A and B are shown apart, each in its own frame.
Chain A
């Protein structure tokens, strides 16, 4: 096969971030006029790859070839001049400008001193809009368009730059079925016109509808590329998750009891999640899986009183309770370790002591006065039991590593004597050693009778660290998995596949 058949070639691309190897020896060849699907779990490396490809972040090593020519891409603008456009989930459009202005923003045709040739701009824009099948006046403001309309404008913008390759990152996430059909039509047309499309999506139905071939990425590596005819949904899912889960996770000694501590019935928050039902037992580790944006964090935030519920009931020890604020949640012995440690979990500019006692300040106060000696001894105790590495309890949290910061967050909530511990991405951005210690701690807490909810995007983690598993998709609880059912394949089935699953 001659090299000219490939419009885009990535060879041996490597990219590391401090502590993480994000892309390992990525090699990806795409033919001219092909629609290539790109699938992978959250954090598999898709977006890093796209950022490298558009010059947003530099790669460490490797080679990119476009249309037979080796290139080194320095910025998204540079990528565009090379014929490579990317349409991100978040559009790069200015709502207050017209469609035509948005398409030609930064490069409106000028003629000498006479200024911008508006007539030409509008004619050209009209032609482009026809090509993508959007029948609107190019002088209309972008803000007046629907999400689908904006997407069409983005595509028209890409076409106006004579893009040979268009990358679409989760284009379907915000579209209705009808709009989606329209998008598919446009992609089919683009293909006929010889434009190459790389289509990134979680939704396998769309992949099968559109793509000629599919590349699976996992843990920063290309697993393989296959023509669509040789694939099934199940096969793709197993390629996406198939990794070995060995000694990373400690096995818990105890098991959960029958005593129900927390029960939620029919929880709703309008437009975010609906009809969430589950119960949580004493000593149980309940996992919540699902894709980022499925509504996992929102559900636990609402239970914790950080967001308002629009319907449903929360029961603690069988009695209905209303929780209107985090303060009330804490007084009901519920704790929430938030996913964003630095902005929501800690007061970074404060000491370990001050952070440890923040959620239960009353315990070290006498008549409103803080007993600092007691506070420091409490903090020192947690530093010792959680093996937090720090020069002392007066050290600022700011100067600790991610794992040690997370231990301070955990100490804060343990000091509240919570019965229900909700952990949202408890090991995100933490090194392997500290991760293992946190897993051990979670198991010890469960064995001592705490009820624990663990949310995680890392599938092996949520499988290994839970006794029971809920899968959330699109704000709804799609399935409950226990024992041997807790497999990556099953989670993906519920988390990705549409109603037919």
Chain B
């Protein structure tokens, strides 16, 4: 009996945590549980959500992508600056393509060097510096003001009807498609198996390099999608817009129950993690926490979540 209860707690730990945060926020922040605030939470979680969903692919196959924040900056600049010269749709396509290319650079280096999890962390740390330097060079350090296209601006700020913001719709479409890819296809299966045991997967004929490469491309693609929504919402692109997003994405993924050691995790979990972190951030805003205080809380939550994951895995193995 006791072990069963334990198992249930492990299994639904991230949902329990989310519920707990909502409960605390509802009790202590009087304007948390209002329709307006909740829409806001969901609307603001879209950019982080896209990044986290992409990052999850890399995490599940046992790697790490620290470069998504700077990919987001870079592709945001491309979307905005190309938008002045071509139709919004074409600029968006260029930005998404640039995101995929950045991901491909990561994937290629990691595949060619046969990097392990820790090495991929450092490699993407390197490309993070690289992409943000390119962004700064590209703009000379200046910010670009927003797009003049109504279509482009609607992506971040528009609504369908009264209650469905466009960015939320985009996020949900992305999340569902990627959830199908992750949980239903042979590609998704191979990705999980590589995360658990890359050596066995390779010896069983899985093209581990190719799968990892695609995962990094998905991560880059999602970062670009996030960049488009962010630049649309904030009406401009700055060469530092994406700073810190990679860490938030990791925190969200871990809160959702995606293991940093690979294999375990799903897009559904990433989804839950994003909402959890958004609720937490929103609650802290309502409580009037300053940004430094928020970082302290986020840091502690991340460490606690990782400790729980490590401990949890030791129980099962």
Contacts and interface: CB of A to CB of B under 8 A. Distances in A.
Do A and B truly interact? yes
A368 B186 contact: yes
A330 B203 CA distance: 9
B205 interface: yes
B204 A358 contact: yes
B93 to A, nearest CB: 24
A360 to B, nearest CB: 8
B317 A350 contact: no
Interface string B188-230: 1110110011011111111100000000000000000000000
B210 to A, nearest CB: 10
Given A343-B199, A398-B316, A412-B204, 17 more contacts: A304-B203, A325-B207, A326-B204, A329-B205, A338-B203, A344-B200, A344-B203, A345-B203, A347-B193, A348-B196, A349-B317, A358-B200, A361-B189, A361-B190, A368-B186, A398-B317, A416-B205
A359 interface: yes
A345 B200 CA distance: 6
Contacts of A398: 316-317
Contacts of B207: 325, 327
Nearest to B263: A349
Judged by DSSP, the binding face of B is helix
Contacts of A359: 204-205
A347 B204 CA distance: 10
Q: What are the 4 tightest A-B residue pairs by CB atom distance, in nearest-first order? A: A327-B205, A330-B205, A359-B204, A347-B197
A382 B109 CA distance: 40
B113 interface: no
A336 B200 CA distance: 11
Interface of A: 304, 306, 325-327, 329-331, 336, 338, 343-350, 354, 358-359, 361-362, 365, 368-370, 398, 412, 416
B185 interface: yes
A199 to B, nearest CB: 37
A325 B201 CA distance: 12
Interface string B144-156: 0000000000000
B119 to A, nearest CB: 19
B314 interface: no
Q: Chain B contact residues (Cβ within 8 angstroms of A): what range?
A: 20 to 34
A358 B186 contact: no
Contacts of B193: 347, 350, 354, 358
A312 to B, nearest CB: 21
Contact of A370 (B185, B201, B317): B185
A345 B186 CA distance: 19
Given A327-B206, A358-B204, A398-B317, A368 B197 contact: no
Nearest to A398: B317
Nearest to A413: B204
A369 B186 contact: yes
Contact of B187 (A306, A326, A368, A416): A368
Interface of B: 184-190, 192-193, 196-197, 199-207, 263-264, 316-317
Contacts, number: 76
Contacts of B204: 326, 330, 358-359, 412
B184 to A, nearest CB: 5
A349 B186 contact: no
A348 B199 CA distance: 12
Contacts of A346: 197, 200
A240 to B, nearest CB: 34
B186 A348 contact: no
Contact of A349 (B185, B190, B203, B264): B264
A344 B199 contact: yes
Given A354-B189, A358-B193, A359-B205, A369 B184 contact: yes
19 contacts: A306-B202, A306-B203, A326-B205, A327-B207, A329-B205, A338-B203, A347-B263, A349-B196, A349-B264, A358-B201, A358-B204, A359-B204, A361-B186, A361-B190, A361-B206, A365-B185, A370-B186, A370-B189, A416-B205
A103 to B, nearest CB: 36
Contacts of B189: 354, 361, 370
Interface centre among B186, B190, B206 (most CB of A within 10 A): B186
B259 to A, nearest CB: 10
A370 to B, nearest CB: 6
A416 B199 CA distance: 18
A347 B184 contact: no
Nearest to B197: A347
A365 B188 CA distance: 12
Contacts of B263: 347, 349-350
Contacts of A304: 203
A345 B193 CA distance: 12
B203 A368 contact: no
A343 B205 contact: no
A432 B202 CA distance: 31
Nearest to B198: A347
For B199, B201, B204, B205, the residue with the greatest tally of chain A CB atoms inside 10 Å of its CB is: B204
A499 B116 CA distance: 43
Contacts of A358: 193, 200-201, 204, 206
A350 B263 CA distance: 9
A326 B204 CA distance: 7
Contacts of A343: 197, 199-200
A220 B263 CA distance: 41
- The interface centre, meaning the residue of A306, A348, A358, A412 with most chain B CB atoms within 10 A of its CB, is A358
Contacts of A325: 205, 207
